[in-house]
Amino acid sequence: MDRFLDAILRYRKSVVVTFLILALLSGIFSLLVSINYNMVDYLPQGAQSTEALDIMKNEFKGKVPNARIMIKNVTIQQALEYKAEISQIEGVSSVSWLDDVVGTDVLTTTPIEFIDDSLLDSYYKNGNALISVAVESGLEESTIKEIRELIGGDNAIEGEAVNRAGTQEMSVSEVLNAMAILVPVVIIILMIATTSWIEPLLFLITIGIAVIINMGTNIFFRDISFITQTVSPILQLAVSLDYAIFLLHSFKTYKEKFEPAKAMKHAIKHALPAVAASAATTIIGFLALVAMRFGIGSDLGINLVKGIFLSFVSVMIFLPAFTLLLHKLIDKTEHRRLVPRVDGIGKLVMKVRTPFLILALIVVIPCFLAQTNTQFLYGTGSVAGVSEAGKDRTSIEDEFGRENALVLLVPRGDVGREAELCRELKNVPHVKNIVSYVTAVGAEIPTAYVPKEAVDQFYSENYSRLILYIDTEDEGEEVFNTVESIFDTAEKYYDTCYMAGQSATLYDMKNIVSIDTKLVNIIAIVGIFIVLLLTFRSLTLPLFLLFSIETAIWVNLSYAYFTDQYLNFVGYLVISTVQLGATVDYAILLTNRYLANREVLSKKEAMRVTIDNNLGVILTSAFILSTAGFILSLTSTNPIISELGMLLGRGTVLSFVMVICVLPALLLLFDRVVKKTMLKSNFYEANKI
């Protein structure tokens, strides 16, 4: 250990240059990282909608439509010309319209009055044509842009591909916008909290290098999700900034007794256990996400674990070397404390601790039950509400009604059974239209007498494809009940069947994530309990610390239930682990200092001194993390990311209140219990001689 530290401090210039080179290379590599905007790709292979997509890919040419285009005031011939032009756009894998149902010859030679009205109204109404399009995954932004340029601003386009294109467009500048506001705010906070003008820059450069290296090392993955790309840098900066603050604070203390190099060596040794414990609890919280079957958890979890580890390494290796190079500049830029020390805050907390504890005990059970009954959103439909797609969607729905496409795959072979299934499916609530071979061509007409391109739309070697159009939102209880009804109906006729489409995918997400959330929470709580058990060597202290933070989490998440709002599942998963893993550090710090003071003071006096001496440190950390969350909420144009930011900001504030106002009450109330259940406790007793 000593040799390693001596090498870092002796070759500090080489250490700094090495980290700067790694950051430069990583910055270049980060521009080459592929970003995935398709949540479907993160479903496990065993999900039925994933299997349906694999069957579609391997056996059928046409894909499931994921966008609708309305062309206003056109003739049948003009609509066909638009369809042909749209099909030539790169990224458009298939285009379907009325001619695919009745045939081009029939459509162009038969007077429109002779076409069945119920069929016609789904494709051509009041001179407006509604064309369905399948856009390839990953090309949504460029493809939708070209389609808009082709059809012009008077026409409209909506659908999942449009939502995804909006997400891609929004995510390009999300991190830069948030950082542009967050970094100056953090600098101001740190300048107020520290006594040197240069120290805040040291903190930010140290963690900033770790963030850039983390983003660059993503080049080794096939891709990362847009959620990880947007959220990870902000969280890494906000969560791990504490490590740098703690090390530099320790260095300043030892510099009063030793020359700079020796003082830094002592500071590293002193800070290492505390920073390592803090990083461990955060890493365990993030590692819990890796246990999810839904791949977005693993994607985000691995990235955050990697980020926290790199921040830890940067603080313990780069920051000491960098600080020694600049320690004279730090001394020259020292200033008096901008925020005067407020003595007596501990006495105030001691007075209000009991009411706060009673309040926490009153709300904990209702909030726990409320957050378990929160309704979740799983798709990106909320993105449309804040973009041009929202207006387009309203325009299309006003003319043609709401439409949601599902594809049902059943074994091929029995045309009569397929016809019976289609007839029964038409009676399922919200199913407005079914396009299949037996409905579009007719069960009585052999495939040999039908053009091959028409047959291939509905039949592969092994499967028959039925496209169902339903009039529900993409997600919600109504559509999920419809999906279940379709499955139940199909299973009356076939032993195996598969369903693809946005709602089918979201239905699978719902079923998978509902199990994943419970697993993630259990793993995070158990893992952090073990770390706390080893840290404090006590059976009861981990329970008090977890109670404080978990109560804050439950209050935070219950807000959506009590305000009758839907909560995106990404926010729920992330905040359950981030708030626990990051803010439990406040509880660890307060408890550690209390135990140290408890060895020489009575319990009330020990707690008063602990709060007076450490409130500033905890407040600074909580202020930075909550500010990061609120800034993310205010700057993000993506509702999913914005909601996550609000959860992070609000959750950090709640955790701070619980740690400062409720945890002290628990520690004092159960002081004797803590003493008896703690290994080698050495509490001060007034009557000791």
Q: pLDDT tens digits for 220-230?
A: 998 998 888 88
The amino acid sitting at 112 is I
Contact 326, 198 (CB under 8 A): yes
Q: CA dihedral in degrees (560, 564, 568, 571; nearest 10)?
A: 0
240 pLDDT higher than 60: yes
Query: How does DSSP assign 506-559, residue by residue?
Result: HHHHHHHHHHHHHHHHHHHHHHHHHHHHHHH-BSSHHHHHHHHHHHHHHHHHHH
Integer angstrom CA distances of residue 119 from 124, 177, 434, 438, 439: 9, 48, 10, 14, 11
pLDDT attached to residue 388: 63
d(Cα 54, Cα 307) in Å, to the nearest integer?
Answer: 34
100: confidence class by pLDDT, cuts 50, 70, 90: confident
d(Cα 161, Cα 549) in Å, to the nearest integer?
Answer: 39
Contact 555, 356 (CB under 8 A): no
- Domains in the chain, CATH or no CATH each: 1-32+194-338 (1.20.1640.10), 65-169 (3.30.70.240), 346-373+537-689 (1.20.1640.10), 394-506 (3.30.70.1340)
Per-residue b or e along 588-597, where b marks 16 or more CB atoms closer than 10 Å to that residue's CB: bbbbbbbbeb
The 3-state DSSP class for residue 430 equals coil
The 3-state DSSP class for residue 409 equals strand
pLDDT digits (tens, 9 = 90+) for 366-410: 999 998 888 888 876 555 555 566 788 888 888 888 778 899 999
pLDDT attached to residue 171: 62
pLDDT attached to residue 50: 87
d(Cα 290, Cα 282) in Å, to the nearest integer?
Answer: 14
Nearest to 465, CA basis, from 500, 492, 430: 500
pLDDT attached to residue 519: 85
Does this model's pTM top 0.85?
no
pLDDT digits (tens, 9 = 90+) for 617-656: 888 888 888 888 888 788 777 777 788 889 989 999 999 9
d(Cα 315, Cα 266) in Å, to the nearest integer?
Answer: 15
666: confidence class by pLDDT, cuts 50, 70, 90: very high
191 pLDDT higher than 70: yes
- The position carrying tokens 């008090």 is 544
pLDDT digits (tens, 9 = 90+) for 424-471: 999 999 998 888 888 878 888 888 877 777 788 788 889 999 989 888
Per-residue b or e along 206-231, where b marks 16 or more CB atoms closer than 10 Å to that residue's CB: bbbbbbbbbbbbbbeeebbbbbbbbb
pLDDT attached to residue 341: 63
d(Cα 254, Cα 252) in Å, to the nearest integer?
Answer: 6
pLDDT attached to residue 242: 81
Q: Of the ranges 251-265, 309-323, 438-452, 594-608, which one carries the lowest mean pLDDT score?
A: 438-452
d(Cα 465, Cα 260) in Å, to the nearest integer?
Answer: 74
d(Cα 239, Cα 279) in Å, to the nearest integer?
Answer: 9
Burial of residue 398 (number of CB atoms within 10 Å: 0-12, 13-18, 19+): exposed
Query: Mean of the pLDDT values across residues 543-556?
Result: 93
Output the six-digit token pair for 17.
């240059």
Q: CA dihedral in degrees (52, 56, 58, 62; nearest 10)?
A: -170
d(Cα 597, Cα 679) in Å, to the nearest integer?
Answer: 17
* Cα-Cα-Cα-Cα dihedral sign, residues 170, 174, 180, 185: positive
111: left (phi over 0), alpha (psi -120 to 50) or beta: beta
Average pLDDT, the chain: 85
pLDDT attached to residue 17: 95
pLDDT attached to residue 270: 83
172 pLDDT higher than 60: no
Q: Highest-confidence range of 8-22, 155-169, 245-259, 367-381, by mean pLDDT?
A: 8-22
Q: Of the ranges 110-114, 230-234, 642-646, which one carries the lowest mean pLDDT score?
A: 110-114
175 pLDDT higher than 70: no
Query: Mean of the pLDDT values across residues 183-209?
Result: 84
Contact 233, 215 (CB under 8 A): yes
Q: How many CB atoms lie within 10 A of CB 325?
A: 13
pLDDT attached to residue 547: 93
Q: How many CB atoms lie within 10 A of CB 113?
A: 7
689 pLDDT higher than 50: no
661 pLDDT higher than 70: yes
- Tell me the sheet residues that pair with 35: 224
pLDDT digits (tens, 9 = 90+) for 467-522: 898 888 888 888 999 999 999 999 999 999 999 888 898 899 888 888 888 888 88
Q: Strands, E, within 107-216: which ranges?
A: 124-125, 128-135, 156-158
622: left (phi over 0), alpha (psi -120 to 50) or beta: alpha
Residue bearing the bigger pLDDT, 178 or 98: 98
Query: Mean of the pLDDT values across residues 181-187?
Result: 80
pLDDT attached to residue 381: 58
